[in-house]
């Protein structure tokens, strides 16, 4: 019986710790105080002072929550004046961007078991010929610039 009560107490303690550590995703409404916004949304990821958007020359308080992507800007009366969406590079957005870049670059080149090793084997010869031509061009009085080497897999 005693071990059951001890394990139940430990379980309740663990649940309360987990419950307190979870991120709140409440709502923000105009007129809230900074304390009310923290109660609703949890501790902000960023607290700072910015120039008043109403151009009064004063600075106002701003709280930013990165996970929900919200920013709360308070007025000079310490009441919530506006809520803005904050763009963050979430993991999903970064993955979507990487996928779009991969699709835009086209399909990968196929590996040819004979041509690909030969391309890499003779690449130093190709680079030497390109640089020799650039040096010869420079020596004859033409434009002197570093040549652009094609990648080894270009054939």
CATH code of 78's domain? 3.30.1450
Residue 47: partners with Cβ closer than 8 Å, 6 or more residues away: 61, 62, 63, 64
Residue 79 phi/psi, 5-degree rounding, is -120, 150
The answer to whether residue 95 sits within a structural domain is no
Q: Does any domain span residue 126?
A: yes
Write down the pLDDT at residue 152: 82
Domain that holds residue 45: 17-88
pLDDT at 96: 81
Q: Are residues 116 and 84 in the same domain?
A: no
In a domain, 144, yes or no: yes
83 CB burial (10 A radius; 0-12, 13-18, 19+)? middle
Q: What token pair was written down for 43?
A: 């501790």
| Between residues 23 and 85, the one the model is more confident about | 85
Same domain, 29 and 78: yes
Q: Is residue 93 part of a domain?
A: no
pLDDT in tens, 94-135: 778 887 877 776 676 777 888 888 888 999 999 999 999 999
Q: Are strands 46-51 and 59-65 parallel, antiparallel or unpaired?
A: antiparallel
Are residues 59 and 117 both part of a single domain? no
Say if residue 44 is in the same domain as residue 82: yes
Pair 136, 75 in one domain:
no
Q: For the chain, what is the domain count?
A: 2
Let me know whether 67 and 117 are in one domain.
no
In a domain, 1, yes or no: no
To the question of pTM greater than 0.75 for the whole model, the response is: no
Structure confidence by residue, pLDDT tens digits, 4-45: 444 544 555 555 544 444 445 578 888 899 999 999 999 998
Asked whether residue 78 is domain-assigned, the answer is: yes
Token pair 């009085």: residue: 141
Whether residue 94 lies inside any domain: the answer is no
Asked whether residue 62 carries a pLDDT value surpassing 70, the answer given is yes
């Amino acid at each position: 019986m005693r071990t059951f009560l001890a394990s139940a107490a430990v379980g309740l303690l663990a649940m309360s710790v987990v419950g307190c550590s979870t991120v709140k995703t409440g709502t923000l409404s105009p007129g809230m105080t900074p304390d009310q916004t923290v109660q609703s949304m949890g501790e902000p990821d960023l607290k700072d002072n910015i120039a008043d958007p109403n151009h009064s020359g004063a600075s106002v308080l701003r709280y930013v929550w990165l996970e929900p992507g919200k920013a709360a800007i308070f007025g000079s009366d310490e009441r919530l004046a506006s809520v803005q969406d904050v763009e963050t590079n979430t993991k999903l957005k970064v993955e979507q961007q990487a996928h779009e870049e991969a699709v835009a670059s086209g399909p990968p080149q196929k590996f040819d078991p004979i041509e690909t090793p030969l391309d890499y084997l003779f690449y130093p010869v190709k680079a030497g010929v390109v640089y020799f031509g650039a040096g010869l061009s420079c020596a004859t009085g033409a434009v002197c610039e570093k040549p652009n080497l094609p990648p080894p897999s270009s054939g």
